[in-house]
Structure 1
Amino acid sequence: MLMSFRMTFGAAALLTLSTCLLDAQTPQTALEQEVRADMNFLASDALDGRGSATRDEHIAAQYAASVFQGLGLQPGSNGSYLQKAPVELPERAKTRIEQKLAPADRFETWNAVAILPGTDAKLKSEVILLTAHLDHLGLAKTPVNGDAIYNGADDDASGTTAVLNLARYLAHGKPPKRTVVFALFGTEELGGFGARAFLAHPPVPITDIVANLEFEMIGRPDSAVPEGTLWLTGFERSSLGPELAKHGAHLVQDPHPKEQFFMRSDNYGLALEGIIAHTVSSFGLHTDYHQVTDELTTIDFKHMTAAIASMEGPVQWLINTNWKPAWNPGGKPEKKQ
């Protein structure tokens, strides 16, 4: 009996201690643990670089879908959290992918899509879209120093992780007035096929999307801007960036205009449809871009965690306000005739 009491008392004490330790965690510490967990999976060698239109990209999409489902979000593609779409690839890309897949009649990509419904009678029909891309470059034909895996830790496991953690933050908060759609796109690296599939079969009318924030390459700071700062592609094109900055977002103008980053991510296809769409980033033109050296060891987790946390409040404001962004004169991109 005494031994049983001691064991019970000890277990209770251990449980109390564990609870106290969890309660003592700061929100920043808890967020960093989630960030590290997501990154450790998405940028691991086990996913062989999440090559576009491969089984590994599919696994990454399934991981994101499981997070969305676990949060109680609504599925965003005909009752599923996964949106599958055919991909027509150039022959050189097919050759690379066939190293990993059995022969197939067509190649496919996968998006992970989920919805957090709005609750306001008037604003629930308006949508804020939060996005990133799941895929990277897969396997190199020729290893570099024995490494053939393009892990894509910064590009774009970091952006995918940002969207997953914003989903966690918003799902656990007060129900939003506007509807939020979370979309993680496949096959961006081969031409934005996932984003195209999303636009062809959107979970909500395209005209209902008030704004899109794409997250790409936020895993390392950019020395071209002040410490703790993110930049927004096309900042000068619309009123979205300046207004978010007024509400606490650490956003400034893209310091690399010659790179034309506004037109180099999935936000651009959305912008061509008239959606106010920009990319949040802190890519400082590091030399690991599209190299096998874009590894977890290069990620600045303190910066990345702070970057995600800095966007929580501004995004929460955006999904609850009736304010709408607009294109500035000459800012809206036009489709080529």
Structure 2
Amino acid sequence: MAELKAAVIGCGSIAKNRHLLEYEANEQVEITAVCDVVESRLTDTAEVYGAAAYTDYKKLLQDEKVDVVSVCLPNALHAPVSIAALEAGAHVLCEKPMATSSQEAQDMIDAAERNGRKLMIGHNQRFVSSHERARRLIQSGEIGNIYSFRTTFGHGGPEGWSADGKNSWFFDKDKAFIGAMGDLGVHKADLLRYLLGEEFVNVAGFIENNAKEDITVDDNAVCILRTESGIIGTMAASWAYVPEEDNSTVIYAEKATLRLEDDPVHSLVLQYASGEVVKYELGQIQSNDAGGQTNTHVIDHFVESVVNDKQPLIDGYEGKLSLEVILKALESEETGKISK
């Protein structure tokens, strides 16, 4: 018998293709309630999973005694709904970016601590096999001192996979707060912090809407970042990469260069200064395209954290630090100065 009762609030694409599937596949979880303001989508989802259906998340939290809640809503709703769920006594897995401001993020952290609940942010890049292996190589000293990096995450845009297509909330600043930088850039900010084991002290952001018409958020962004020890590099996020997605990261170090998700076959390529090349086949990175890995490991890790009373790998503090990289990039674009 399942140990945990789960509710998924928001039944759009991320819930349909990730959260719901992965909860259903986890034997320790039973999906007992779902919520969405679009009744047709809600009804279909509730029928598939045999769950109670709600159009009002407050009523769901009042009526259903659930152990865990996934918040899969537009970015502007992440903080208020997560806080409500935490106050109702549920552990919360919130999609990224965790909030629209540093203060909102802190409010979520405070709510989790006040209620003795877990708060995890859905940064799935940390669970990718090539990224996990690269972190171990870096920490072991195998590649020596790191000097520089470049990372990018781009595809054709949310209209290709979002439940509402071109009418998606992703393109509306009031609901999304930020575009490609919030959708994709924050993933890479979190990954870089995880790989390098350092925080960024300087951020220069160049953020544009130059590819798509009739949207009120960015669709292309490039950031220059510097860590506390002086590692410098670039981070790009785009909704204008066609026809293929680019989700690659390259780390330039003293003894070797690490190429992550930069080769169609070998997800990790280690190029030593000696000329030796080591190639790893570690499975595909999770993708929105057909053929991407099904299990992101995010839900499994969240469930394990709750069941075994462990701190999640990406807790509220980690989510807030990754969000703040993006906030600094926005500040830099607005002021024309390097954010510190």
TM-score (norm 2): 0.25
Q: Which structure has more strand as a fraction of its residues?
A: 2
Bigger CA radius of gyration: 1
TM-score (norm 1): 0.26
